[in-house]
Structure 1
């Protein structure tokens, strides 16, 4: 007996499969078949249920765990020997067991990645499922009564709804409106708006729990099935029941509309499937109607029918029953009949069955913890997935893309059966890619697409056996295709150049097994040998002959092209560049698990694509930068400027050489970039269709020009490109180019901040005048003082009425006339301290004595007058003081304290003249002589004093600065400057880039 035959249920045609490496859905990391449980890492458990074993080892389900493969085959040998002895036959020897277990391991490996997990949710039991037709959303209802919406791309919950009392068994999205409907064990049908998170209304009428609910694809109808043995059709706009379909004699388990015709199919526990004609309802809007008729009653199941559904395009119905059978029914205008073949394979009640909308398959789930995939044409089983821990209750298929959802006892999962990324390779103007089991050729210049040669066996119905990778040698016109067929294999095709694109080529491919295979020269390719555990690579010629063997420096599970005679070897946590000719390691880089490698055209840079990250490195694997994404990275290509353009599930993005990234545009569906040419992206979609997408590259080319110090190009883009918005402003400001950012800003507050940061006082004054807030004038004064622009400092201090700083400014600039006038303004304003400070700065003793006398400080006034020789004033004050005259010290020589004379009187501080920056020149039309400040007018102090004397107003009524209705625009002094120009700033900050 061959033990390999004992494990045939492990292969894809009959096997059972679960989650593997976090990407697959099933029984949480275990394969179960023929009494053995094979865990990840060759960990094996064996359930000893055979009769005739030792006493005590009966069928109790006792589990024995073996942690290595050697222990596994020893136990298999022992079991088989004892079993054969009981049957009177010779037992297997260990060599036979070992050889057969190698076959088992290869079969398991071949089936490890069939069901590809997109989302896995742990929750209460899931009873209802529905895909949104346009958004990447899955709607599901729980046995606890909670309803949730999840984004299966981002793996995040979008909405949560709670209102039903008890389990909710049916949910469905509306085809075009932001609505969904739910039905539960509380006999209620509720219509929800998922944008507002509220229930709009509830439909009442059923007398028992609801099983399923569904919207009609065109009319405002809802169909519901209930345990009250009826199917009801509701008009959700008028919120009334328009028809009650009666006839079932037991629970109505399921009801659904036909996707195109006015038909309803229902399944019942009375063992029947019924097809109802509802054409007459097209004329009914509100009142109940009894004129719906039963077209067909389909009898054939031996027990209750749990599910029935229409084929999306063909006149077929599929039904699933507690009799563990799936039946196909064909119908025409007059009758319906059962297709001869019945699908058998489940060992318990079948809970759900659906047609796959994109492939000729049927998917079913059962309480036997299995999900089965069937060939709808041949009516044979393609694959079986076993879920060890839970029963699966409901299935849903996406109407447009290759996704299936399954609800089970412990939650739900969204998955696909096959990888959707097409295998492709391009060189120059040619693209070879795999689609629908054929190798196809596309010419970019002529946009000619043609079929070249079949690459899939016609009778192959295994899942996920399409081409995984494709390597192309343009010199020899040879194509090397790798797939998961037979546990990993390659096919080599040499296409005559005069027949490329004709589609009539027929040739037998040169084949072999491999872990992966790539061309390393024009006429040689490298094959990763599986039998050595990824430690050896074979170099073969185009005749498929081994011409060289080489041991790899690390255990390798994948190889990639890295230049002539060079390979990138992927191990668990790193990538190694290996020279096959010299047998040397050229470089090594720690990376996440690399799925794809994309080289630049000059082979100087490489992008290493992982599931959620991108590593950019040099040709010697020197790390440049690493990007991390929250969603999956799908593909990428280098553009002509050395920018890496890549796609995620929902975006086209860019990555600059320094690691900066950004979004170019959003995507409705994922694409796979094949080539970048200017601003055009050539790509393949999930259906293998070639598309061309034009992108706006202005944003990342602008950033690239700044990065590479191409300032002439920057100037051209500033003047001619439609760059605008807060993102551009923030980027320029972040990178140290506020003057360039000022070119885009329109908001005055933003312009003011940018002007201060860049030292552009002209723009700052203009913006401050428009804003006219004290804080902005204060900040302007600080910056103008830092630059030594006394006129703008004076203007800012006047606007804020800051007498102290203004008087000190007049002092240090030697402007004593204005200081004297400011003292008189302070007197008018009754600002004693400011008036006294100004008198001190001016050395005006008489004014100081006057201020002290008016303030009531007669002793201080007397001392000041006496010390400074003002005898007449001192005698007058002494008379007023009487006996309180202060006694002055004798022998002291009085002297008048005067502030030192300023070194520079008037004008601005001398500064080194700098050339105007690029954006400054553009903004002012190239003007370089002087700085014109719109809206700035230095206050005429003489006019204020004359007004005060003429009107004789009381103290406190004057406003120091009164903004005129029409402001002049005087020029600042010749020494003024508007800050450091951008060109100089760029030169100064080059080190940052």
Structure 2
């Protein structure tokens, strides 16, 4: 909205006229350089220039049907051009002063022109059409009429003749235009008058003169949809006139800008006006229909009638005429009904409040009958001035008067109470849903006010609210602003909010599901839930205004006041609502009964903390594996890993199992991936020396010397280490090791070998005070970590199986849990390393429970974590315990067992252990408060930072970012030295501690900032200009790696950061092209010319583009492609930098190349390059992709590729994948991008 799309700068001097073609992507412009230029706005370039006028060109216009352009000029002529043949086909002479405007009739063969000679002329172009347009009605193509055509050309017979000369203005006429359908002409002149003319087949005459402007009338047009005339003037005003009444109905003014030009949108109800400072786009009146919807019917206003529409039957009937009721008696622009409100407190009497902008704001209280006569008068009408009015009781309504006082009135329009609002800036009243209350709007805040007690019940910060919607039971309210929507409770407690980039038009609560709110924007129907979840329901072709949402059916009004019905699919919204309310039965039915369990829903379940829910319905093994890891279900992850049998799955399973302390699964994962180093370290940590010795044997079988040596260190096997050193030829080290550890036999054996090999015998051994390096002897060998016993299954599992179990079909592909051994390890002797299930795979665990009496029930041989890792609570007889601190009735009979058990409460669920919850760390708050990867990296959460980058820019290669991650992490903390022998304090650094809560709302300080990147870009510019492409490429690569980890605070910085990304992409592509040229041999002329040409289409700085054009010109000229060389020389000479003295030599060289190339005028080689065709460069193949051809983009840097490159790593940034649709670069920490 209001964004500059393109800029065309080829005219010399002011451009006074411009026009869009009705069907083609063309623009025509005329300026003070006497040139008419035709542009292709899709290709973003000028197609050709039409020359012929001898003075300033005032206006240009395309014909609606024929390939014609009409232009008016200060040379006192009007020219008609054929833009297809690029020739002037007619010159219209007759005016004897500047021609200020000329325009085609939208349907007939007419042209109207206005001149400073005080006349308006209407020209007949029938002859020109017959002469030049083949196939047109009445075209003259036969040979018999050829003679007359030649005579007309030779002796001045006109193809365009003056049909009428309209005289009546006292000074020069500035503008004239046709009515789109009626035989009317409107003109505006320097005599400050607007004149309306009518014409027929034989004559034209003045109908009326519209007076009111106080300065020159610069432009005047007919409104394309309404019977209105719109004029603007140098008196700084725009005036709207009624054609039938010939009176002014509306005036728009500016303080210091004169208006010069007007234009009407061909389809929408929009007008544009140009003034001294720019332009404005506006509507003459609001297009939103006034309506009020109830559960079964709706009241709305159309064509000045109050109408009733019944949703079920579709019956639509007029009730009363608002003209007869006296509503908006002015009946003109500015008097349109703004809002309509029905009195829901008293449905027995039909009362409505109608608000309009008449006299600066007024209201009408109308009492009517619902009998469908449509012709009768309202039973009662009360009116008065007011900025807003709402019903507050059965027979009371509140009015906000112009002095910002709240008046309580009865239905006789008598003031019963007057009060000042709590906020003096109150500017509107909104319906509060409850009798006796009103919502006051002031600036960016709404206040819930009780008028009886005159107290403020609640306040809510919300952007300027325009409309309010209550759900069926009045428990929730949606407050709608221009771009924002806030959902709150009846006491204005905010539940959620959403901000849209386009305008929000309307909304309605679902009558079947009163916690689902449906709203519309300009082009979408969307939903929002109180939990904050939102989404798109469907797209719209035109804006609509919702009146009712009933399940899958939407009722709405369009801008013409027509009732419309739409069918929508609300499955996604209802699914999210059921999940947020933990209605798992409905969730299961929806997932099983629909095909909505796609990747988006799975990601949503995982994001909301319900991966176990998605796990019950997903059949794909890869997805099941990821979900199982997310919810910590090692059993399911283990079974799916068996079926997938991929190394990376086993690796991830090992990490998760290690996190949970499941050593058995960790061991199996390491065995599957043959990760012998980690496997040995696991055995060392858990004290399993038996399997560690097996690892030593396996390392010997694999002939892995380092693994043998490490395992011998872990085991403390000195003789083995001496043997390994001897076998590897390290005799000195073997001798020193044996001597140090007192192995005299080995010393005596190795000494002769040392002397025979000529290696000097190490002296000074053993060293005095040397200590034996021996691994600690495992006393208690670790088992799997104990698990808490969960006695109550989740509500979802209970629903899923009826008895707390999952249906067999959902786990039909699961394998029974157990110890996993790799068949591929059999050759290394690991096939029996799983052990028995009784001790986690180890047979030499210490049975520390023997003799304690705690395992007398025969369960001593069961797996430690199979039922309960801490013993069964049923072994403790706690029923007779006394109050805390006292003794039970049975004395101390259970005292010892109680000391070994848990602390027990008095409630019925005392058998469930609830561990204490730790407080939230500052780094956790950083991750919660920000969606920027840099903040997650600063918090040390590198994994979530990489996940964010993968979702936002499809990043898959993180190696270039590793130093930046570390920088972000280290830069977010400071170290405070303390007392001696006390570790320093590690303090987090926050960037928003001044204006935010340093606890829950904190964000980390960032070491990666924008200014250093700007300095690196400058250095890259210098290296590029100096031809140091390797250095420039390294700097640009560093910038591309750093940009995703830069957080900015303002929109200007965000735009600068995105512009920096575009610059890096263009320059890195240019360097790749330059390097490709350097790698070509001298006989590859075609490819050299092509790459040099592509080089010039990179978006470089002017100084660098000059170098690229020079290189391309020289390359094309050298290989005798003179036409191509001439185009480069042209582009080179047109650059403003060529006017500098330092480029005089290059300018002379380019002129010579251009002269020589124009003489030769041929190309020796056919190349795949056309300077007239727009294209982008495929960054993978360095070939052009024509505009309009299928093209994929890098999700991060925006580099272009052909569809064949989908999914590959981008060669420009080296970070992201090609062709994935993502959010794009996130530059700020908030939920919305700057």
What TM-score, normalized by structure 1, do the two folds share? 0.70
After superposition, the Cα gap between the structure-2 partners of 1:242 and 1:928, relative to the gap in structure 1 and judged at 3 Å, is same
Following superposition, the deviation at residue 672 of structure 1 comes to: 2.2
Task: Output aligned runs, 1:42-53, within 5 Å.
Answer: none
Alignment partners' CA distance in 2, 1:480 and 1:396: 37
Alignment partners' CA distance in 1, 2:765 and 2:721: 19
Alignment partners' CA distance in 1, 2:517 and 2:685: 58
| Pair 1:173 & 2:173 matched | no
Alignment partners' CA distance in 1, 2:181 and 2:621: 61
Question: Of residues 296, 314, 323 in structure 1, which corresponds to 2:191?
Answer: 323
Following superposition, the deviation at residue 235 of structure 1 comes to: 3.7
Residue of structure 1 equivalent to 2:133: 282
After superposition, the Cα gap between the structure-2 partners of 1:828 and 1:175, relative to the gap in structure 1 and judged at 3 Å, is farther
Contact 1:273 1:305 in 2 (8 A): no
Contact 1:821 1:942 in 2 (8 A): no
Following superposition, the deviation at residue 821 of structure 1 comes to: 5.8
Greater shift in the superposed pair: 435-444 or 647-656 = 647-656
Question: Of residues 503, 506, 509 in structure 2, which corresponds to 1:635?
Answer: 506
Question: Of residues 170, 173, 182 in structure 2, which corresponds to 1:314?
Answer: 182
| Pair 1:598 & 2:469 matched | yes
| Pair 1:349 & 2:222 matched | no
After superposition, the Cα gap between the structure-2 partners of 1:367 and 1:751, relative to the gap in structure 1 and judged at 3 Å, is farther
Greater shift in the superposed pair: 481-490 or 418-427 = 481-490
Question: Of residues 149, 159, 163 in structure 2, which corresponds to 1:296?
Answer: 163
Task: Output aligned runs, 1:386-535, within 5 Å.
Answer: 386-456=253-323, 460-473=330-343, 474-497=347-370, 499=371, 501-507=372-378, 509-515=380-386, 516-522=388-394, 524-528=395-399, 530=401, 533-535=403-405
Greater shift in the superposed pair: 296-305 or 919-928 = 919-928
Q: Secondary structure at the match of 1:172?
A: strand
After superposition, the Cα gap between the structure-2 partners of 1:745 and 1:328, relative to the gap in structure 1 and judged at 3 Å, is farther
Residue of structure 1 equivalent to 2:62: 215
Following superposition, the deviation at residue 362 of structure 1 comes to: 0.1
Following superposition, the deviation at residue 684 of structure 1 comes to: 2.0
Residue of structure 2 equivalent to 1:853: 726
Q: Secondary structure at the match of 2:604?
A: helix
Alignment partners' CA distance in 1, 2:285 and 2:404: 25
Alignment partners' CA distance in 1, 2:288 and 2:763: 102
Residue of structure 2 equivalent to 1:379: 246
Structure 1 residue ranges without an equivalent (≥5): 1-153, 947-972, 978-983
Task: Output aligned runs, 1:545-624, within 5 Å.
Answer: 546=414, 548-554=416-422, 555=424, 556-562=426-432, 563-571=434-442, 574-581=445-452, 583-624=454-495
Greater shift in the superposed pair: 218-227 or 718-727 = 718-727
Contact 2:58 2:72 in 1 (8 A): yes
Contact 1:255 1:264 in 2 (8 A): yes
| Pair 1:540 & 2:410 matched | yes
| Pair 1:206 & 2:47 matched | no
Task: Output aligned runs, 1:9-408, within 5 Å.
Answer: 154-270=1-117, 271-278=119-126, 279-280=129-130, 281-283=132-134, 292-294=159-161, 296-302=163-169, 303-332=171-200, 334-408=201-275
Following superposition, the deviation at residue 172 of structure 1 comes to: 2.0
RMSD (Å) for aligned C-alpha atoms:
4.6
After superposition, the Cα gap between the structure-2 partners of 1:487 and 1:844, relative to the gap in structure 1 and judged at 3 Å, is closer
Q: Deviations over 1:147-184 (max 9, x none)?
A: xxxxxxx2332333322111111122233343322222
Following superposition, the deviation at residue 465 of structure 1 comes to: 0.6
After superposition, the Cα gap between the structure-2 partners of 1:176 and 1:717, relative to the gap in structure 1 and judged at 3 Å, is farther
Q: Secondary structure at the match of 1:393?
A: strand
Following superposition, the deviation at residue 418 of structure 1 comes to: 1.6
Following superposition, the deviation at residue 259 of structure 1 comes to: 2.4
After superposition, the Cα gap between the structure-2 partners of 1:863 and 1:229, relative to the gap in structure 1 and judged at 3 Å, is closer
Following superposition, the deviation at residue 724 of structure 1 comes to: 6.3
Contact 2:368 2:379 in 1 (8 A): no
Following superposition, the deviation at residue 432 of structure 1 comes to: 1.0
Greater shift in the superposed pair: 212-221 or 351-360 = 212-221
Q: Secondary structure at the match of 2:341?
A: strand
Q: Secondary structure at the match of 2:124?
A: strand
After superposition, the Cα gap between the structure-2 partners of 1:643 and 1:326, relative to the gap in structure 1 and judged at 3 Å, is same
Aligned length: 794
Following superposition, the deviation at residue 343 of structure 1 comes to: 1.7
Alignment partners' CA distance in 2, 1:859 and 1:698: 77
Following superposition, the deviation at residue 765 of structure 1 comes to: 9.0
Q: Secondary structure at the match of 2:577?
A: helix
Following superposition, the deviation at residue 410 of structure 1 comes to: 1.5
Contact 1:489 1:511 in 2 (8 A): no
Q: Deviations over 1:301-356 (max 9, x none)?
A: 33332222221222222122223322222233x23422432222223321111111
Following superposition, the deviation at residue 433 of structure 1 comes to: 1.1
Contact 2:197 2:207 in 1 (8 A): no
Following superposition, the deviation at residue 488 of structure 1 comes to: 3.1
After superposition, the Cα gap between the structure-2 partners of 1:665 and 1:868, relative to the gap in structure 1 and judged at 3 Å, is same
Residue of structure 2 equivalent to 1:132: none
Alignment partners' CA distance in 2, 1:173 and 1:284: 25
After superposition, the Cα gap between the structure-2 partners of 1:808 and 1:589, relative to the gap in structure 1 and judged at 3 Å, is closer
What TM-score, normalized by structure 2, do the two folds share? 0.57
Alignment partners' CA distance in 1, 2:642 and 2:65: 60
Following superposition, the deviation at residue 566 of structure 1 comes to: 2.6
Alignment partners' CA distance in 1, 2:650 and 2:76: 80
After superposition, the Cα gap between the structure-2 partners of 1:777 and 1:198, relative to the gap in structure 1 and judged at 3 Å, is farther
Residue of structure 1 equivalent to 2:1084: none
Alignment partners' CA distance in 2, 1:727 and 1:864: 62
| Pair 1:926 & 2:811 matched | yes
Question: Of residues 811, 821, 825 in structure 2, which corresponds to 1:940?
Answer: 825
Q: Deviations over 1:507-535 (max 9, x none)?
A: 4752221313333334x13142637x233
Alignment partners' CA distance in 2, 1:923 and 1:208: 88
Task: Output aligned runs, 1:770-919, within 5 Å.
Answer: 778-790=651-663, 793-794=666-667, 796-797=669-670, 802-810=675-683, 822-827=695-700, 830-841=703-714, 847-858=720-731, 861=734, 875-880=748-753, 900=777
Q: Secondary structure at the match of 1:342?
A: strand
Alignment partners' CA distance in 2, 1:539 and 1:179: 60
Contact 1:647 1:673 in 2 (8 A): yes
Alignment partners' CA distance in 2, 1:508 and 1:258: 50
After superposition, the Cα gap between the structure-2 partners of 1:258 and 1:746, relative to the gap in structure 1 and judged at 3 Å, is farther
Question: Of residues 519, 532, 542 in structure 2, which corresponds to 1:646?
Answer: 519
Task: Output aligned runs, 1:946-957, within 5 Å.
Answer: none
After superposition, the Cα gap between the structure-2 partners of 1:284 and 1:249, relative to the gap in structure 1 and judged at 3 Å, is farther
Higher relative contact order (CA 8 A, sep 6+): 1
Q: Deviations over 1:725-777 (max 9, x none)?
A: 66545533432334556799999998876554343566589689989687x76
After superposition, the Cα gap between the structure-2 partners of 1:376 and 1:748, relative to the gap in structure 1 and judged at 3 Å, is farther
